[in-house]
Amino acid sequence: MPQSRPSIYDRYIPALSAEPSDLPAYRFVFLAGTANLLLNEGSGLEAIPSAADAAELGFEPSRSLYLGTLGGAPCYAAEAPEGAVPPDGTAFLPLRSLYEVLDEDLFHLAGRALQMLNWDATHRFCGRCGTTLTLADRDRAKVCPNCGLSQYPRLSPAVITAILKDGKILLAHAAHFQNDMYGLIAGFAEPGETLEDCVRRETMEEVGIELGEIRYFGSQQWPFPNSLMIGFVAEYAGGEIAVDGEEIAHAAWFGPDELPNIPPKVSIARKIIDWYAEEYGSPTDTPKTVDPDTFI
């Protein structure tokens, strides 16, 4: 199994309130109602706009949250109002398309910014009494000043699994996938089940087969809008493929030299499939992929 990637916390220190700094702040600015991130021309850290004040970017943000520091510089998540015009030399670009423009730490930090903005926009009022929520002092949370209910940023855990049989991998085409793309079996965890239970249930529901050993692969935050993807590799144990006809339109076993169109590198699905192709294939096997702008 692959080694874990370096932690984002090697460079990034989360915090709730900003300390005085002489460094311009990095601004992870998203256009309201979208996952489109404001970027400078260029790549890597230089692509993230920096300014002492968000108004220097040409518009007043409709919401802004402090994220902490990156290399000592303060970082903010900000939302540009609907219809905001990007300054000269910048553009709003879909976050999913930026995986190879930003390094992985920056991509994940941008994802954190997007999730925080979504949480701030969708948790404005108390679900118990309807009172306007306020930011907590000591936690990344919102608190009701009337009844005391706390609301934390929402995470929706989902499993995604490579199923292996005799050196082949099971790939499935969901009805909503574009470009005839095939991916892995995935689904959200339900209350009362373990992640392994979820892997077995989703597999049985979607393709009707039983699993043997299940091994952890890795995880990925997926901020569209608030998922945490937990990857596994599982061994086939029995049964014939029988797709549900609702979520899954077709599924089949594929060898490493016969892979169909697969998800782009931005996804943990692709990381798992690439691992499989490397472990079971020859050096000349080159997986086909879809454009990340059309990946759903």
Q: Alpha-carbon distance 219 to 159, whole Å?
A: 9
Instruction: Return the structure tokens found at 98.
Output: 């930026």
| Token pair listed for 49 | 């706009």
Where do the DSSP E strands lie in 133-240? 134-135, 142-143, 150-151, 156-165, 168-174, 185-188, 210-222, 227-238
Name the pairing type of β-strands 261-262 and 168-174: unpaired
pLDDT higher than 70, residue 295:
no
pLDDT (average), residues 272-296: 72
Reported as a pLDDT band with limits 50, 70 and 90, residue 54 is: confident
Q: Which of the four pLDDT bands, split at 50, 70 and 90, describes residue 230?
A: very high
pLDDT at position 296, please?
A: 38
Compute the average pLDDT of residues 94-98.
93
CA distances from 16 to 70, 103, 149, 196, 264 (A): 14, 24, 19, 34, 34
pTM of the predicted model as reported, rounded to 2 decimal places: 0.88
At residue 294, the pLDDT reads: 46
Q: What is the pLDDT of residues 116-154, one digit of tens each?
A: 999 999 999 999 999 999 999 999 999 999 999 999 999
What is d(CA 189, CA 199) in angstroms, rounded to the nearest whole number?
A: 9
Q: How confident is the model at residue 247 (pLDDT cuts 50, 70, 90)?
A: very high
Cα 147–chain centre separation = 33
The answer to whether 247 and 174 have CB atoms below 8 angstroms apart is: yes
